[in-house]
């Protein structure tokens, strides 16, 4: 055993230190001298490490665990502006008094040491300023759940910067270090005037750090201390935050810890976002926990954050937080604020957000609508992007009508009914304190409970059956631009369908797939045609895959362009902003390391003759053999570019399928096979669309040979895996012979 111990001194040290820290974190008063005598061979090393931990904690100040008895304790009220938490990592209870009794303090004069000397010091406290590598730390600017931020002077450049480092210093775990550098990487990839800039990151004597802009001024939490803001001022701040967050989202970064304290206000009264410590890279956690821990600041967490659903945290999470910030700026308090952390989290998950005007009646109705849309429990009901939020706030700021719609009367009634205590008890959902009218309603409800329950049980089923088995009185099909394939298919569908009143459905011409999605979700359309890449499975359901749309990359015949890589720096016509063509084109270029900034994007469609000249490239996503493409190629001004590496793109981009324009295609114009990719055009409805409407669509698509000519066959649609089919469509395909 002695031989093994000599071979593993580091393991012995780790085990001894871990045993001490566990006892200390459980609130036990540990005799340090007695503990060191238990490990005489490790006493010197353990003493240095414990002194270093004491010094770092002294420099950073009390943590959330020090300042609160526990997440469910009533002894200390929860402060909504407190630090970010990891709820699963929060200790059960520990007081500052316990910590004081477990350490002795020996002050040191400023300037006698550098931070790199800490692990060898015998003392447990030091004063600022002090030297840290090439920086001189001057004072503490702020503290978070795992980091502390100092004001520092970068001596060689003689400039003020902010230095962030891990609070636990050299004792930081690998998980803490990974999270810390994840924040630095997240911010470093962003270059925006309203987002703090990272200059340098690294490690000095075991202390991980990064330096960034020092923003003199204040922050929104300090401004909130003076009470509610003027509405237009609050709108301007949150609008600018939304624009900065939209930029971060466009670069794959979700903040996940937006709150007033993380919105700095500089000397020019402009916002600057900071503290990306919980930032998530879209498509991956990048080192952050995915175990179900609640990460964030409770009063500004979204319901999916409060529930620990890491996989559901995305763009909508930041949209919710911005709505909570706007609520706080207008009312002087966050939308949810209870006595403890746990109670606050439960309110966030279970209770409907209160009305801003219940705290501040003079707030304009449009502004209340914007806040309410941000604070929806379901992410799909919030603004689809930070840009949409910023645009609506800008409309309000400039006195223009907003696009968001207030909740419908039935929805308001549903919330009102949910506030009746007995109804809340039956549904298991807790609401805010009931009003006098709700209490009277409860008395009536109790008297008629048996009748109401019977009506709900039988009547609800009958109502759902009735709604599911009838056609809407009017039907609108969102298609595309007149003359396009989508518009043509929509017209044929309209000819073969009837509404509940026996009239022909109307066809709505649009700018493309993204506009069709909005029209569908806003209730302005009942059926829509859109590219597969546009479909959001939590919002819409597929009725049928219609046809493949091949990517046509057309370059002027006079040019020497031979590959996609050579498109960098070129002018490219790639469809309207709301079109699936634009989305497919940008995804294609991305695989060749070409971003939107690397090309000159021409807004418009390839069918517009005015946009064509000998210097521009055209990207079209259309069904092979489309007549307009035939006409364009026959003029001889453009040639098709083959994507030779198309097969390798399929592994990383599921929206694409391998496609080849055969030799002789387009009536012989294609002289050699052209390798390319294709997307799929889909017929979709809202998830809550009645089954009868879906059945009528399917009958119109497959019952008429003229319409099915050139479309994806029904038997292929029946075995298509992975599509979010409407339940009625799935049953239809299951019965396909």
Token pair recorded at residue 28: 């036990």
The yes-or-no verdict on residue 586 having pLDDT over 50 is yes
Where do the CATH 3.30.200.20 domains begin and end in the chain?
2-60+104-213
Residues 6+ apart with CB under 8 A from 604: 573, 575, 576, 611
Fold held by 476-544+682-710? D-Maltodextrin-Binding Protein; domain 2 (3.40.190)
Cα three-residue angle 369-374-377, rounded to 5 degrees = 110
- Kindly state the average pLDDT of the residues 117-138: 64
Cα–Cα distance measured from residue 78 to residue 72, given in angstroms and rounded to the nearest whole number: 10
Class of domain 548-679: alpha beta
* Cα 542 to Cα 517: distance, rounded to the nearest angstrom: 12
The predicted model gives 172-186 an average pLDDT of 75
Query: Which of the given ranges, 118-127, 228-237, 308-317, 638-647, has the highest pLDDT on average?
Result: 228-237
- Helix/strand number for the chain, H first, E second: 28, 23
- Tell me which of 105-119, 321-335, 522-536, 684-698 is least confident: 105-119
Give the residue carrying structure tokens 């001022």.
233
Split at pLDDT 50, 70, 90, the class of 48 is low
Q: Is 36 left (phi over 0), alpha (psi -120 to 50) or beta?
A: alpha
Q: For residue 104, what pLDDT is reported?
A: 30
User: Which residue ranges does the chain devote to CATH 3.40.190.10?
Assistant: 476-544+682-710, 548-679
Going from the C-alpha of 429 to that of each of 306, 347, 424, 595, the distances in angstroms are: 16, 10, 5, 47
Rounded to an integer, what distance in angstroms lies between the CA atom of residue 548 and that of residue 533?
A: 12
Alpha-carbon separation of residue 279 from 162, 487, 510, 682 (angstroms): 19, 42, 36, 34
**272, 195 in Cβ contact below 8 A?**
yes
- Alpha carbons within 13 A on the beta-carbon side of 500: 14
CATH 1.10.510.10 in the chain, residue ranges? 217-404
- Could you tell me the two tokens for 704? 């008429």
Is residue 443 predicted with pLDDT exceeding 50? yes
For residue 371, give both structure tokens.
């806040």
**Dihedral sign, Cα of residue 254, residue 260, residue 262, residue 263:** positive
List, in sequence order, the alpha helices (H) in 292-420: 303-306, 315-331, 341-350, 365-374, 386-397, 409-418
**Between 166 and 542, where is the model more confident?**
542
C-alpha to C-alpha distance for 13 and 119, rounded to whole angstroms: 15
Highest mean pLDDT, choosing among 11-20, 87-96, 98-107, 644-653:
644-653
Average pLDDT value for residue range 629-642? 91
| Residues 639-661, mean pLDDT to the nearest whole number | 84
What's the whole-number mean pLDDT along residues 301-325?
A: 89
Instruction: Fold for 2-60+104-213, please state it.
Output: Phosphorylase Kinase; domain 1 (3.30.200)
- Flag whether pLDDT at 34 surpasses 90: no
Report residue 135 as tokens: 């920086």
Residue carrying the six token digits 């003359």:
483
pLDDT digits (tens, 9 = 90+) for 460-478: 666 677 777 788 889 999 9
pLDDT given at position 89: 41
Q: At 84, is the pLDDT very low, low, confident or very high (cuts 50, 70, 90)?
A: low
Q: State the SS3 of 148-202.
A: EEEEEEECCCCEEEEEEEECCHHHCCHHHHHHHHHHHHHHHCCCCCCECCEEEEE
- Worst-scoring range by mean pLDDT, 29-33, 289-293, 717-721? 289-293
> Which of 144, 147, 125 shows the shortest CA–CA distance to 52?
125
**pLDDT score of 412:** 65
Torsion (CA) 220, 226, 231, 237 in degrees, nearest 10: -20
Backbone angles phi, psi at 506, to 5 degrees: -95, 150
pLDDT at site 690: 92
Q: Place 282 in a pLDDT band, splitting at 50, 70 and 90.
A: low
Q: Which residue has the tokens 């038997």?
A: 715
What is the structure's pLDDT at 316?
Answer: 94
Could you confirm whether 257 is annotated as catalytic?
Answer: yes
pLDDT band for 428, please (50, 70, 90 cuts): low
Q: Give the chain's mean pLDDT.
A: 79
Encoding tokens for residue 647? 């097969």
Distance CA 468, CA 461 (A): 11
Distances (CA, A) of 513 to 72, 233, 310, 486: 48, 36, 29, 10
Instruction: Give the mean pLDDT of 146-153.
Output: 87
Element (H, E) at 104: none
Phi, psi angle pair for 538, to nearest 5°: -85, -5
| Residue from 51, 54, 257, 526 carrying the catalytic annotation | 257
Q: What is the pLDDT of residue 423?
A: 67
- Looking at the chain, the whole-number percentage of residues with pLDDT higher than 70 is 75
pLDDT in tens, 476-492: 999 988 877 888 889 98
pLDDT band at 368 (very low <50, low <70, confident <90, very high): very high
Give me 141's structure tokens.
Answer: 């600017």
pTM summary value: 0.46
Please enumerate in sequence order all residues whose Cβ is within 8 A of that of 724, keeping only pairs 6 or more positions apart, or say none: 535, 537, 540, 541, 542
pLDDT per residue as tens digits for the range 381-416: 999 999 999 999 999 999 999 998 886 677 667 666
pLDDT for position 179: 75
Please state which CATH number belongs to domain 217-404: 1.10.510.10
């Amino acid at each position: 055993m002695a031989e093994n111990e000599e071979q593993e001194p580091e393991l012995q040290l780790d085990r001894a230190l871990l045993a001490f820290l566990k006892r200390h974190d459980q609130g036990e008063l540990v005799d340090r001298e007695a503990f060191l005598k238990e490990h005489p061979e490790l006493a010197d090393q353990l003493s240095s490490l414990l002194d270093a931990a004491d010094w770092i904690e002294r420099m950073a100040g009390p943590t959330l665990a020090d300042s609160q008895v526990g997440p469910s304790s009533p002894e200390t009220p929860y402060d909504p502006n407190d630090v970010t938490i990891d709820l699963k990592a929060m200790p059960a209870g520990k007081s500052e008094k316990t910590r004081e009794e477990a350490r002795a303090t020996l002050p040191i004069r400023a300037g006698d040491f550098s931070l790199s000397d800490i692990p060898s010091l015998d003392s447990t406290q030091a004063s600022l300023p002090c030297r840290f590598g090439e920086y001189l730390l001057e004072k503490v600017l702020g503290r978070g759940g795992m980091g502390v931020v100092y004001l520092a002077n970068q001596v060689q450049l003689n400039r003020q910067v902010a230095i962030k480092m891990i609070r636990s210093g050299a004792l930081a775990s690998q998980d803490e270090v990974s999270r810390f550098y994840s924040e630095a990487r997240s911010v470093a990839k962003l270059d925006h005037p309203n987002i703090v800039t990272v200059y340098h990151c690294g490690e000095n004597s075991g202390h991980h750090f990064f330096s960034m802009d020092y923003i003199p001024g204040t922050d929104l939490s300090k401004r909130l201390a003076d009470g509610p803001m003027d509405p237009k001022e609050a709108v301007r701040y949150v609008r600018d935050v939304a624009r900065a967050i939209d930029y971060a989202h466009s670069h794959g970064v979700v903040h996940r810890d937006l709150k007033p304290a993380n919105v700095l206000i500089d000397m020019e009264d402009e916002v600057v976002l900071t503290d990306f410590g919980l930032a998530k890279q879209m498509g991956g956690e990048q080192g952050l926990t995915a175990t179900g821990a609640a990460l964030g600041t409770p009063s500004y967490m979204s319901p999916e954050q409060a529930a620990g659903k890491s996989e559901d945290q995305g763009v909508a999470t930041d949209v919710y937080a911005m709505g909570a910030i706007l609520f706080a700026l207008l009312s002087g308090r966050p939308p949810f604020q209870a006595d403890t952390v746990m109670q606050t989290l439960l309110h966030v998950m279970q209770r409907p957000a209160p009305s801003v005007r219940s705290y501040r009646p003079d707030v304009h109705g449009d502004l209340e609508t914007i806040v309410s849309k941000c604070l929806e429990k379901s992410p799909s009901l919030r603004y689809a992007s930070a840009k949409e939020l910023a645009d609506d706030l800008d409309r309000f700021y400039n006195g223009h009508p907003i696009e968001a719609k207030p909740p419908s009367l039935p929805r308001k009634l549903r919330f009102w009914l949910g506030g009746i205590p007995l109804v809340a008890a039956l549904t298991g959902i807790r609401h805010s304190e009931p009003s006098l009218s709700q209490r009277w309603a409860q008395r009536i409800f109790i008297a008629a409970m048996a009748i109401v329950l019977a009506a709900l049980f039988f009547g609800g089923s009958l109502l759902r059956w009735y709604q599911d088995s009838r056609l809407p009185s009017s039907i609108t099909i969102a298609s595309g631009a007149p003359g396009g394939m989508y518009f043509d298919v929509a017209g044929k569908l309209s000819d073969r369908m009837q509404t509940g009143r026996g009239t022909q459905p109307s066809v709505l011409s649009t700018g493309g797939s993204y506009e069709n999605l909005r029209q569908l979700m806003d209730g302005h359309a009942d059926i829509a045609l859109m590219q597969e890449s546009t479909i959001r499975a939590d919002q819409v359901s597929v009725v049928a895959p219609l046809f493949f749309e091949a990517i046509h990359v057309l370059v002027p015949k006079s040019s020497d362009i031979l590959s996609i890589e050579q498109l960098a720096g070129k002018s490219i016509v790639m469809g309207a902003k709301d079109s699936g063509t634009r989305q497919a084109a940008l995804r294609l270029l991305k695989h060749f390391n070409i971003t939107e900034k690397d090309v000159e994007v021409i807004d418009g469609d390839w069918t517009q003759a005015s946009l064509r000249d000998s210097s521009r490239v055209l990207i079209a996503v259309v069904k092979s053999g489309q007549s307009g493409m035939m006409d364009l190629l026959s003029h001889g001004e453009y040639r098709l570019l083959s994507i030779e590496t198309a097969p390798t793109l399929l592994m990383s981009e599921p929206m694409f399928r391998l496609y080849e324009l055969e030799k002789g295609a387009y009536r012989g114009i294609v002289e050699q096979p052209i390798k390319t990719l294709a997307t799929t055009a889909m017929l979709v409805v809202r998830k809550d669309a009645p089954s009868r409407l879906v059945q009528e669509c399917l009958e119109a698509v497959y019952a008429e040979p003229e319409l099915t000519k050139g479309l994806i066959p029904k038997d292929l649609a029946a075995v298509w895996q992975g599509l979010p089919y409407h339940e009625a469509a799935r049953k239809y395909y299951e019965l396909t012979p």
